[in-house]
Amino acid sequence: MPSRATKRSMLAFLLVMIVAIACMLVLSNQVPSVAAAPANSRDSKRFVVDEAFDEDEEEDDDWDFMADDAILGLSEQDNNDIKTDTDESKETCVDSLPIDLVDDDYCDCQDGSDEPNTSACSHVLLHSETPPFGPEFNCKADDKMVSLAFVHDGVCDCCDGSDERDGLCANTCATEWERRLQTLQERLNVVQRGLKRRTEYLAGSVDKVQKLKEDFERLAEAYQSGQRAFEDLQRQAQHNPELRGQLEQSYNVLRRVQYITYIQSRVVDPSTFSDAAWKPAFVELVGECYTYTVNEKELKGGTPNVIPRKYDMVLCPFQNVSQTEPLYPEWTKAERQTKVGDKVADEKEEEVEVPRPIGLGIWNEWQESVNFARVQSYNHGEPCANGQERHTRVELLCGEQNRVVSVEEREMCQYEVRFETPAACGQAEQDVLQDEISRVKTFFKTKDVGEFAGHEEL
């Protein structure tokens, strides 16, 4: 029978764990335990949260040293300088040709300079570096630019058909402008409604950030107390084998608390919500998880299976990203039935379990914004078959609701998530949309759609 001291130690550890678990529920509601220790783990090593933080920061710092971008940027600059010098000293081919060979629908020059208004040199222009598809043609009806490679190619790229011969194209400018106005107005409505909800998010953001800090302090204190109680229990278990089962359970709980403490230390870091005016609204997403179901073809662009597998991709903002496959048993049976046929019915079916969640990354940091989208990175996901850690990049776009709109695996173990939220709505996008709507309306009124008589509808 355990001694009184042993009972007190076990009771103290139990009380500390109850406090810690309560904090976990407050801080990480619905967060999947993708990084919890395996149930059969017997390692009794002491884990120190502060050391774990330092190790991670040192690892990140190593990658920052002499980054590839700096080297590549220097190389690109050198190359640009060389190209500039070469271009200045190079004579254009068309300068040496008779005038009757220019725009004669035959490509005489290797640089395509003799056919600026035909598609004869399109094979050359498509590989030109300036602009993206070589020299450009300005559509007459609006400010749209079309590569000369696409002029007189039989495809109507300009709404007024000015890139093709007279009579080939219908004039669709009025329809296109109206469609563009409608698209812009619809997007503006979404942004304006999102901005209203973002204002609501901001109203309580200061208190929520403060509460996160207070909860983290309690969680960190509970973790340290639990660690000390665990070490006490560990010492006693060396002399009392009956306590070893309890020790293993306590170890697994402590690992879970350590994982949550580690993530929450990043959440309460000033760089997450406090060092920029646009960040506090995102605190509304803490403690929430959003699921997006995607099949194998959509996720990876293809599948070796007859029946594509379906995955539930779960994004818990500022916590982690994970992948589950709840329909795996059903998929296994259907795939086998497809390949083997009726023979499978005569065989004894083996019970197939639902695979455990796979971690695709834990909250790391904000990255540089792209246009109006805010960007996050989630790193240190579970390793793939090749040993590479999974990593997820999340783009947060302005939207009326909080929802995942797409998930892709662009490269092996590299995931891209697009997420809409009112927290990402900003005044800058609204201003740009309003300016563009005004510009298109003015352009639509001042342009006479029928002035291009040669391109009226057939």
> pLDDT tens for residues 237-294?
888 888 888 888 888 888 888 888 989 999 999 999 988 999 999 999 999 999 999 8
CATH of domain 93-170: 4.10.400.10
Most confident among 33-47, 159-173, 187-201, 287-301 (mean pLDDT): 187-201
Tell me where in the chain the CATH 2.70.130.10 domain(s) lie.
192-335+352-426
Predicted pLDDT of residue 443: 77
Give me the mean pLDDT over the 152-180 stretch: 86
Outline which parts of the chain fall under CATH 4.10.400.10. Answer: 93-170
Range 425-438 burial, b when 16+ CB lie within 10 A, else e: bbeebbebbeeebe
Instruction: Give the whole-number percent of the chain exceeding pLDDT 70.
Output: 69
Q: What percent of the chain has pLDDT over 90?
A: 34
What contacts 323, CB < 8 A, 6 or more positions away? Answer: 311, 312, 313, 314, 357, 358, 360
> How far is CA 352 from its chain centroid?
32
Read off the pLDDT of residues 94-126 as tens digits, 9 standing for 90 and up.
Answer: 788 888 888 887 788 877 778 777 766 755 654
Query: How far is the C-alpha of 436 from the C-alpha of 448, rounded, in Å?
Result: 20
At residue 145, does pLDDT exceed 90?
no
Looking at residue 265, what is its pLDDT? 92
98-112, 129-143, 331-345, 441-455: least confident range: 441-455
73 band by pLDDT with thresholds 50, 70 and 90: very low
**Integer Cα distance of 328 and 354 in angstroms:** 6
Give the residue-averaged pLDDT of 296-311: 76
Instruction: Please determine, for residue 134, whether its predicted confidence score (pLDDT) is greater than 50.
Output: yes
Question: Where do the H-state alpha helices sit in 204-294?
Answer: 205-237, 244-267, 270-273
Cα 361 to Cα 408: distance, rounded to the nearest angstrom = 14
Token pair of 352, please?
């197939």
Q: How far apart are the C-alpha atoms of 330 and 293, rounded to whole Å? A: 16
Q: Residue 202 — very low, low, confident or very high, per pLDDT cuts 50/70/90? A: very high
Phi, psi of 258 (to 5 degrees): -60, -45
**Selection from 417, 379, 424, 401 nearest residue 280 by Cα:** 424
User: 6 falls in which pLDDT band (50, 70, 90)?
Assistant: low
Q: Do the beta carbons of residue 288 and residue 269 sit within 8 Å?
A: no
Q: Which amino acid is at 309?
A: R
Per-residue model confidence (pLDDT) at position 269: 93
The CA distance from 418 to 421, in Å, is 10
Residue 156 makes CB contacts below 8 A (sequence gap 6+) with 163, 164, 168, 169, 170, 172
Query: What top-level class would CATH report for the domain 192-335+352-426?
Result: mainly beta
pLDDT at 289: 96
